[in-house]
Amino acid sequence: MAKTLLMKFKTDRDKSFSLRVNKVKNDVNEEDVKTLMDSLIKNDVVLASSGTLKVKESAELITTSSEPIDVE
C-alpha cells in the first residue's frame, strides 16, 4: 500500500495551501509531521501563489492500494 502525506496550511494572505508528499515511509509518526510542517513554515521554503505559509491547519496520511483486474 502506498502512503501520501497531505499537509494543509494557512498563508499570510489568509488563504489555504495544500502540499502532498508521495511515497511516505511506513513508520512516519505525528511528531515527524509536526516537525516537518514547522520547518516548512520557519524556513520559508515553499513558494506559493497564495502567500507565505504561516499556520499549520491539518495533516493526514492517505493510504491507497490497488488490485489488478483481469479484463480478458
Read off the pLDDT of residues 33-72 as tens digits, 9 standing for 90 and up: 999 999 999 999 998 999 999 999 999 999 999 999 999 9
pTM confidence score: 0.86
Residues 2-27 have pLDDT tens digits of: 999 999 999 999 999 999 999 999 99
Grid cell digits, residue 27: 513508520
Residue 44's closest CA among 5, 4, 17, 6?
17
Report how far apart the first and last C-alpha atoms of the chain are (Å, whole number).
Answer: 25
CA distances from 8 to 18, 32, 45, 64, 70 (A): 4, 15, 15, 19, 38
What are the sequence ranges of the domains in the chain? Answer: 2-64
1 confidence band (pLDDT: 50, 70, 90): confident
CA dist 50 and 34 (Å) reads 21
